[in-house]
Every structure is written in C-alpha cells, then in structure tokens.
Amino acid sequence: MAFLKDLRRRSRASFRTSDSSKESNNSVPSQKSSSTLSSAYGGSTPPSSNPASSSSTNLPALKTNGLSGAPPIPPRPAVVPSSNRNSMVGSTNIQMSAIANMQFQAMSPSGSSSTMRMNQPTSPYAPKITSIVDGSIVHSKIIVISGEINEPQARPMDGNLAVHHDKDGQAFPSTNWPVSDSYFKSLVYLSPGWNKLRFDFTSPKLSSSNYGSPSIHSSYIMLNYLPLNSAPPLQLVILAGKDSPCTFDATPSRTQNEGNDLSVAIRKFRMAAHLWQAFTAEQMYRQKFGRRCFRFEEEWQTGTLSLADWASGIQKNETRIHLVRCEQTVAELRDTNLAQQNENAKQKGDFIASDAIRKHFNIRPGQKHYVACLLLDAHWDKKAGTITAHAALGGGSDDLRLAIFGSHALQSYPSCMEEVVPAFTDCTKTDINYVANDCNESGSSWEAANIGIGAHLHEVGHLLGSPHQETGVMLRDYVRLNRTFCIREPYSTRTKSPGMRVCKIEDECGWHRLDTLRYRYHPCFRLPGDEPIGNSDDSIQYYAIDNGRLIALANSGIAFIEIRTDGADLCHHWFEYINPDPRNGTLPRQVTLSEAEVRAKLPEDKKKSKISLQIWSGSSCNVEIQDLGDTLSQKNITMLPPVKLAPKSDEGMMMSMVGKSFGDKRQGFKSRKLGTSQMEGTKPQEIILQSCIYQSKLLTSLRIWAGGALDGIEFCYEDGSSQIFGKQGGSSSEFLLDTRRGETVLGFAVRAGAWVDGIEILTSIGRRSGMYGNANGGSLHTLMAPRGYQLAGLSGSCGPWIDGLQLIITR
C-alpha cells in the first residue's frame, strides 16, 4: 500500500501543470524535456497533430493583439459541429478571408470534413447544398450543384455565390454564380480524387455592422471524382469538308469579339459536351441510379473549360475533339441539302459522316465506337430558307453509333464555365441575315443555345438507344435545357413569356424514366462496382406457358419490359425489375408475367388493344414480342403423352407405346424460335424425347452432326434406340452423360442467325460440351428450361441443314 501511495504522489506531480510565469523566463527548454519527447515519439522531433493538408503557410498575415503573423491552427473541437455552414460576420475582409481559408485548408483529405474545421457559430445564411451529399462519389469532371440560402420563404434575397476549390489558383480558379430569391445553381470543376470545395455567399442585404462591407457566409463540401476509364468513351468529332476553312456561321459582332474559327468551335463543342454530361449525371442521380454518365476520351492539352485556362496556357487532361475531313468539298456537302427531312437525305448524310469516321478511327470487326459528330460546314441559306450541310441524326449500326448535328447555332454556345450563365441569359435577337432561327424556336441567343446543345443531346439519346418518349429530352423538351444550369430564365421569344425568376427542379427538362432505365445498364455508363456482364451471351429467351403467362429469361437479368398498344408510337407503360437499393444492382434472371397483369397497366380504352412487348436485359439488349396475344395462343403449346412405364425389350428395341399410364396428358411449351426457317426445301420437324414419356427410358448420350452449320441432334438411349432432330450430315461427335450422377440435359447454347450455325450442350451438373459446328457464326443464345421445368423435345425446321430451332419444355 505504501508503494501505491508513493506512486500516486509521483503521478500527480508528473501531471501537474507548470507555472506559466516561471516558464516564460526560460526561453530554452531543459535537456530533460527534450529527451523525454525523444523517447516518447522515437525521434528528436515531435509529430504534428495536424495533417499535411492543414498547412497554413499560404494564408495572409493577421494582426491579433498588435502582433503580426500567420493565424494559429485551431485545436480539434471537443464536439463536432453538426453543420458545415459558418458565418463570419463582424470580421475585417482580410480576417474573413484568412479564417475561411484556414477552415478550408484544414478539411480532412479522407473525406471527413469534421475533424479540423473551426467550430464557428452556424449561420442561417451559409449556402445549404441540396443536390448532393458531402463525401459523394461523382464520375464527371463538371457537375451541377444547387441549393438555397436560409429558408427562402422566410427572407428571400439575391446575392452572389463564390465557389472555391482547395487548389485555388490558375488551374482551379474560383467562379461566381447568381443567387435569386435565396436559390442558386452552379457548375463545379473537379480533379480526380478528393476535392475540397468552399461556397461563400455575399449579399448587400447582409452587410457587416462594423465595416459596412458584405459579410461572408460559408459552407464546405468534399467530393470524390472517380473517372470511368474502363467504360467505352463517347468520342467527339468535328466533321468538315476536305476544302473547308473550318469556320462556322456567326454574326459580324460575334466574329469580331470572339471569332468563329476552328479553335473557338472546339472550345464551344467541348463545353456543350460537358453540359450534356453534367445534365445526364444529375438526371441519373435523381432517378436513383447514382451519378452515372458517359465519359469522354481525353488527352493532355491546353485547357479550355475556364477563362484562365487559355489565357495562361495551362495544360490539363481535357476532352479530345477529333477533326475529321470527309472526301466531299464544302460545295458538295451543301448541294446534298442534308437538312431536307426525307429519308434519302438522311441516309446520304449518315453515309457521308459514317464513312469518314470509320476511316478516321480505322474501326475493325468486333469493335464498337460511340461518336457525337458536329457538322462544321452547316450554313444558313437565307434565300433558300434552309440550313445546308446539316443533318439531325442519331442511331447507327452495331459497330458505329452516331449522333450528328450541325453547327448553325454554335455561335450562341458558351465556350467555358464562366460563360454558361451569360450564354443562357443572352436575349440578343437572332439576326437571320447571318444565322438561322432553327424551327422558329431560336428567336434569341439563349434560345438558340438551347436548341443547338439540346437537339444534339437528343441525337446522343438516339445513339444510346433511346427512342422518342412521351416527355423529356427525347420529346424536344430540351428547349428548357437552360433551367438546369441557370437559376433565372429571361424573356422567351418562343413562348412570348417574361421568363422565370427562379427555375426549380420541377421546371427543368429531363431524361424520361425509360431513358434512364436504358442507360443504367448501358456499357458507356458502367461503374467499377457493377456486376460483370459476359461479353458473349446477351440473349433473351421467352416461353409462352399455360393460363396466359409468359416466362422471360436472360443470363444478364431482366431489367424492364415496355408495353405498347397497336398504333402507338410512344411507350406509356412498363414493368421494371431493378432493385431499388443502389448498392445491389442484381436483376432477376427469370420473370413470369401474365397477360392480365399487362392489360391492367393500360387505360380502359386500350385494354382490348393488340399489345406488343419489348423485353430489355441487363446487357442493354432487347427482344420484341410483336403480338402478345398471338404468342400466348395455342400455337406455341403442344400436347404431350402422359408418363408411362413401358416393359423392357429383350432385343433392346424401342419400347412399346403400350404401358401403364401415370396421369393425364401434359402440355409442352415452345421457346422463342432461333433461325428464320426460310431455306430452300426446308420442312418443319418436331420430336418429343422418349425419356420424357417413359419412366424407364434412360438418355445416355447425344450425337451432334455438324460441319459448317448444324445438321442434326441425335438423342441416344440406354437400350440402343435413338431419335434425331434434323438429319445426319457433316461429321458426328458424341457427348456422354454421367448417368450414375443423374446428369440430364438442361438446354443448349446456340449460335444462330438465319440458320443454326453451332450448338453446345448444357447439363444439370454444370458441364458444357463445347461448341459443335461453326463456333463463330451468328450470335450466341441460351435455350434452357426455366426453373421448375425440364426439356421435353425440340421443334423447328430443316432444309440443307437446321434453319429453325425451338425448345419444348414441360413441368
């Protein structure tokens, strides 16, 4: 006990605070103190209690109590403040800036912004970010951030929002955005990794009581920019004639002030593309799919997304714009009159662009490119009243997806972030002596920017697989595109309306829900954490079963099913099967749908209409059922004999059809048909497997007859009998089943196009036979019995070889 008391006395002495007055007289610490620190931390220099990111060496000097010097780093707050919104009322301008920067630099690089911020009083006027959560992961270089000041209903006010990056300087200059009635919208430029952002609000209505200058109210946010470098890019191309001077239509004043040459066209096209990207990422987020978006091909070059970039010549990893010259001259392009809305002109414009782009990218078989193309030589012909060398096209082929639009509205585009708000609020009247008033919807400069940027985005939607929709960008709703980026809208010549003081979310245009469902599983929108999708089998199969029901299957899962009625061009109703939990993107591989459920989705006047379905999988592929009623009819159902127990034959011949019956007749259901059954001399065939009829009949092997295509499939039984679908031809290969383990045939992997090129056997224990026939012909499909069903037979047709194949399944 005496020892413990002594230890307690020593402990109290060692932790007793020194007298500050005595320490002030000793400017040099004792050797004993130095050695204590060294032994405690393993070195002569004690570790810093602050991370490297909290350095304040670049802060302006402050005068505190008559002493000049850098402000001290604040201690860790005892209680972490629940808000990142701070007020700096009552400080001098230098003090406000220094304190804001000190807080800004002290933010944790790990994404947690609570460890090193000053515990300042929360200000109700600090910007409140409503469009994104602190610590979010984003995938586009420029994003839209919106929010509000205080409670807008309580005291609406105007002012300015300044956005600062932690790398403030020439590379990431601060930007300013208007605040209207306490609402704001801004664009933020990000670099890969963590980005520390500060939002400062100032307003003349909130001036400092001590100095009369506007007070600063700040909030902070950290975002992690993760580029999607593993997804295929949307490549940007400017297409020009082989003799083109590479200029675009512009009024004389525009030409004099900013120019209309190729360098300006590149800057404007690049900025428009980033607006597409920011808009799409925000729309995907609102639809609960995360901030997914397409990415662009990049290269190290002089930056153009900020005014400071090209003024100082700073180089960055910026979006690449390809200049492609076609084989036609400018005169030949304008003589084609591509703007005429007829199929011949569209096909000609598509051919000119696609042919030049294919040569430029040297597209090889099996490759796929996504390209947004700007026709630089589009020209407004006032006499003819049309835009020549222009085509608005979107779509393309399997290897080249194209979105084409002209440059006739390019003069109105912003060329950098700082010009976005001025461009979308510019009411300058369109001078039709020099530029086009496209569709009479571009009466002013800001409306022309909407039409040019928005209509090209509409074609990008077609490139990504979107048809026209009932609302949104794919229904020309892009005439309101400006509202996504601006808080105010000026006078509109299109609607003859005075404009809007505050553009809220409900006032903006957007992608339709069906568009975002497509993009959720599109290759260009894939995230690193998404489930991998096989590159080979992206097929969708379906079976019409009893009671008016349909089973749909896909290896990559069923994403959604569109419903269309007879004569309807647009889809108004659909089923979706995407897990609402963003952390779990798993799709069901098998979906059962009844005709009654489908018709229940329709309005009363459409319930008896002819219905078509379009089934979409998780690999962005689809299959169409043109007539649901016809598909569910009896033509896809075949009657099977009841199960029988046949006596064994001593001679090993085929079992007698006479035997004991178990139950009534059964139904067999046919799958979607592969092949067209249109070869010369083709005849229909159908077999029901005897192992499905007779309980004692054992299937032991399959013999495949194939050469350059599939000739026949022969099913061999234990008693020596066999059945063949197709015919014997080419060479034969036998695949033995492991009957001791109860191995059976579940289905087939089939390569087919107009006919069946090759086939692979899939068994119940996970074995695969390998592909017989032409392993590279056609496209790959999986024909397999759904859960709860078994293989009962094959149906189809055969001519010189098999040109039609369906599975027959039964319970």
Q: Summarize the confidence of residues 202-225 as an average pLDDT.
A: 80
Phi, psi of 798 (to 5 degrees): -145, 130
Q: Is the pLDDT of residue 292 over 90?
A: yes
* Triad 500, 503, 508: Cα angle to 5°: 120
- pLDDT score recorded for residue 634: 84
Strands 234-240 vs 573-576: parallel, antiparallel or unpaired: unpaired
pTM (predicted TM-score):
0.81
Let me know: does 192 contact 337? Beta carbons within 8 Å: no
Q: Summarize the confidence of residues 59-85 as an average pLDDT.
A: 38
Q: Residue 382 to residues 346, 349, 388, 433, 438: CA-CA distances in angstroms?
A: 22, 21, 10, 7, 12
- pLDDT score recorded for residue 453: 97
Q: Summarize the confidence of residues 70-94 as an average pLDDT.
A: 42
Alpha-carbon gap, residue 737 to 744, rounded angstroms: 7
Specify the range with the lowest mean pLDDT, choosing from 124-138, 320-334, 568-582, 728-742.
Answer: 568-582
Q: Residue 706 to residues 291, 709, 791: CA-CA distances in angstroms?
A: 49, 6, 22
Give the percent of the chain with pLDDT over 70. Answer: 78
pLDDT tens column, 457-506: 999 999 999 999 999 999 989 999 999 999 999 999 999 999 888 999 99
β-partners of residue 379 are: 388
Q: Summarize the confidence of residues 107-117 as an average pLDDT.
A: 41
Alpha-carbon gap, residue 636 to 693, rounded angstroms: 20
Q: Is the pLDDT of residue 93 over 50?
A: no
The tally of CA atoms less than 13 A away on the side-chain side of residue 86 is 24
**Identity of residue 141:** K
Q: How confident is the model at residue 571 (pLDDT cuts 50, 70, 90)?
A: very high
Average pLDDT, whole number, for the chain? 82
Q: How confident is the model at residue 156 (pLDDT cuts 50, 70, 90)?
A: confident
Q: What is the dihedral of CA 105, 110, 115, 116, to 10 degrees?
A: -10
3-state secondary structure of 134: coil
Specify the range with the lowest mean pLDDT, choosing from 280-284, 409-413, 556-560.
Answer: 556-560
Helices and strands (H, E) in the chain, number of each type: 15, 42
Q: Of 447, 459, 508, 714, which is the active-site residue?
A: 459
pLDDT tens column, 308-358: 888 888 889 999 999 999 999 999 888 865 444 445 555 555 678 899 999
- pLDDT score recorded for residue 3: 44
Residue of 611, 600, 589, 594 lying closest to 548 (CA atoms): 594
Specify the range with the lowest mean pLDDT, choosing from 101-115, 142-156, 533-547, 781-795.
Answer: 101-115
Superfamily classification of domain 636-810: Jacalin-like lectin domain (2.100.10.30)
**Identity of residue 130:** T
Q: What is the DSSP string of 239-271?
A: EE-TT--------HHHHHHT--SHHHHHHHHHH
**Identity of residue 518:** R
3-state secondary structure of 259: coil
- Each as own residue / partner, the long-range contacts of residues 80-83 (CB below 8 Å, 24 or more positions apart, any chain) are 80/114, 80/115, 81/114, 81/117, 81/119, 81/122, 83/122, 83/126, 83/219
Q: Summarize the confidence of residues 178-187 as an average pLDDT.
A: 95
Specify the range with the lowest mean pLDDT, choosing from 5-14, 534-543, 787-796.
Answer: 5-14
- pLDDT score recorded for residue 17: 40
pLDDT tens column, 411-422: 999 999 999 999
101 or 418, greater pLDDT: 418
Q: Is the pLDDT of residue 219 over 90?
A: yes
Alpha-carbon gap, residue 691 to 742, rounded angstroms: 13
β-partners of residue 751 are: 758, 780
Q: Is the pLDDT of residue 645 over 50?
A: yes
CATH among 3.30.1490, 1.10.3470, 2.70.98, 2.60.40 for 538-632: 2.60.40
The tally of CA atoms less than 13 A away on the side-chain side of residue 412 is 30
**Identity of residue 319:** T
What are the structural domain ranges in the chain?
Answer: 87-225, 234-523, 538-632, 636-810
Q: What is the DSSP string of 64-91?
A: ETTEEEPPPPPPPPSS--S--EEE-TTS
Residue of 229, 226, 390, 379 lying closest to 295 (CA atoms): 229
Residue 458: alpha-carbon gap to chain centroid: 15
β-partners of residue 179 are: 159, 184
Q: Is the pLDDT of residue 656 over 90?
A: no
- pLDDT score recorded for residue 391: 87
* Helical packing angle, 262-286 and 513-520, nearest 10°: 100
DSSP state of 360: H
Residue of 628, 556, 630 lying closest to 593 (CA atoms): 628
pLDDT tens column, 666-680: 889 999 899 999 999
Q: Summarize the confidence of residues 543-571 as an average pLDDT.
A: 91
- pLDDT score recorded for residue 250: 96
- pLDDT score recorded for residue 129: 95
β-partners of residue 72 are: none
Alpha-carbon gap, residue 671 to 721, rounded angstroms: 27
656 or 642, greater pLDDT: 642
Q: Is the pLDDT of residue 377 over 90?
A: yes
If you search the block for the tokens 């043109």, which residue do you land on?
Answer: 626
Let me know: does 299 contact 317? Beta carbons within 8 Å: yes
Q: How confident is the model at residue 240 (pLDDT cuts 50, 70, 90)?
A: very high
309 or 809, greater pLDDT: 809
Alpha-carbon gap, residue 571 to 468, rounded angstroms: 9
**The token pair that represents 803 in the structure block:** 């040109």
3-state secondary structure of 446: helix
Q: Is the pLDDT of residue 91 over 70?
A: no
Q: Is the pLDDT of residue 555 over 60?
A: yes
Q: How confident is the model at residue 683 (pLDDT cuts 50, 70, 90)?
A: very high
CB atoms within 10 A of CB 717: 20
β-partners of residue 234 are: 296, 370
* CB-based burial label for 111 (10 Å; 0-12, 13-18, 19+): middle
Let me know: does 376 contact 246? Beta carbons within 8 Å: yes
Give the percent of the chain with pLDDT over 90. Answer: 57
Helix (H) or strand (E) holding 639: strand 637-640
DSSP state of 605: G
Task: Compute the Cα dihedral for 107, 113, 119, 123 and give only its sign.
Answer: positive
Residue of 204, 260, 548, 531 lying closest to 379 (CA atoms): 260
- pLDDT score recorded for residue 659: 39
3-state secondary structure of 162: strand
Q: Is the pLDDT of residue 410 over 60?
A: yes
Most confident of 107-116, 125-134, 143-152: 125-134
Residues in the chain: 811
State the CATH architecture for 87-225.
Answer: Sandwich (2.60)
Residue of 53, 268, 318, 58 lying closest to 169 (CA atoms): 58
* Helical packing angle, 262-286 and 445-463, nearest 10°: 70
- pLDDT score recorded for residue 597: 94
CB atoms within 10 A of CB 32: 7
Q: Residue 281 to residues 73, 149, 186, 677: CA-CA distances in angstroms?
A: 38, 24, 15, 45
Q: How confident is the model at residue 26 (pLDDT cuts 50, 70, 90)?
A: very low
Q: Is the pLDDT of residue 525 over 80?
A: yes
**Identity of residue 510:** G
Assess whether the region 87-225 and the region 538-632 belong to the same CATH fold: yes
Alpha-carbon gap, residue 127 to 134, rounded angstroms: 13
Q: How confident is the model at residue 664 (pLDDT cuts 50, 70, 90)?
A: low
| 459 noted as active-site residue | yes
Rg (CA), the chain: 35
Strands 321-325 vs 234-240: parallel, antiparallel or unpaired: parallel
Q: Summarize the confidence of residues 37-47 as an average pLDDT.
A: 35
Alpha-carbon gap, residue 711 to 705, rounded angstroms: 5
